[in-house]
Structure 1
């Protein structure tokens, strides 16, 4: 049944400071994840300041399109599947691919504007007068463009559940730092001790998702923000934020929740009112190519199809 509300325009808006993306745009994995090949090819023809402006504008436009399509970031559509090109007159035009193409709606338009370091983008959709036409089109395009053979009932079930939001996959550790971990003067603990905790979290997450420990390939955005000393209690958490065919990306944080108080006496301790962040990082781990006999994997339905 059509109503005036269903025929009303839908609008998505995104605003960002382009400096927020400066570091990410230096990372090849982020460029491949966020941008279509055509966008990257055009960006490489620009100087550094214009390249940053161009890619920040495209990223804001992708966020606006995701909002107007009614889905959140990292919920089934990769940003690179939203390609924002331009006409001969310079006006941006959107091409949806992959999972994004399944959500295509008529009359999707975007506009991008820049002012100093601020980038803003607006996406607008004008639904057809007959709402059933859009619904029929969505039904017709629900099946993925390509599905790895063979196609069986298990594969079909996996594809049907990709539209559902997968439960968040996390891991957690709490440890007491011992005197044997002191490495530097002043009883400071080396950062490698925290990285070992992060490695255990990543391993647990890949066992939960793939039935395999995987192979940690890199840390990025690694930051040590506070010292750690013997007697401190550290809580470390990991959260799966992205999957590809062979890679899992995990956000990691370690907080100090109890601290030693050597100034009071040798065994004194203190419960921190607010946990103190001591380290954060993003880890990328590689898992074996999925075989049909990986029955121990608990959850493979959210894996990205390439």
Structure 2
């Protein structure tokens, strides 16, 4: 596999996969391919998938690998331009007006020009992302876009079209170099096709057992091989039943870490019941798994791992 070069956009799919793997992110060929293309084509990458599968981590690893700043816009219901793009420092502006009046300045036009200048502008994530110097474009993570409303989505569509923001008092601010944009969504609602068309798309799924086992080996090196295999096999089985929220990779890592801290060598029903809170986050799921169904799954895991071949 090609060796990654820190700070440089990868020149091949293999180099892209190696870049991610160097930071312990194991990407399949499809993800490495779409990420490589997004970087080379300078297009936003739209990542969709269940919560906890590692979508956000891709942006973090990318920022570290390319030695770029990471700017994160955490989306939520009611997100507006003042929180996402920019706002004026009103207390500082009022103080400046009072000081101007105190020294006898009466030129209203000059006062207005002073208070609506760069030094009173508070740059929020969107404006920060398009204000960087050439050659140092940041990785701009727009996280959980599905939590916002359609009005903000429409505004974001305009930003991603031209990488510019218009501030009435200052004019239009354009990016010297477009940021590397990663958009994530947990698919709690559908994102409009107009925004998706401007992006390259990839569905991030739960990892296969072999890949998840390798993640545990890298992220929790103190976890024994026997325990690691049992953890991964058990989590993989949990994802096949009808839970309110399946455990993601982050929860698998947390569970492996917790069991290692407890000096656990192998899973047993008591330890399973006592530590389910690190793996499952809803009481209905915990109540279901800490009973007979959870013990049955554990017996199946033990039998399958003990079987020859």
Same fold (TM over 0.5): no
Higher relative contact order (CA 8 A, sep 6+): 2
Shorter-chain TM-score: which interval? under 0.3
Structure with the higher strand share, 1 or 2: 1
| Greater share of helix | 2
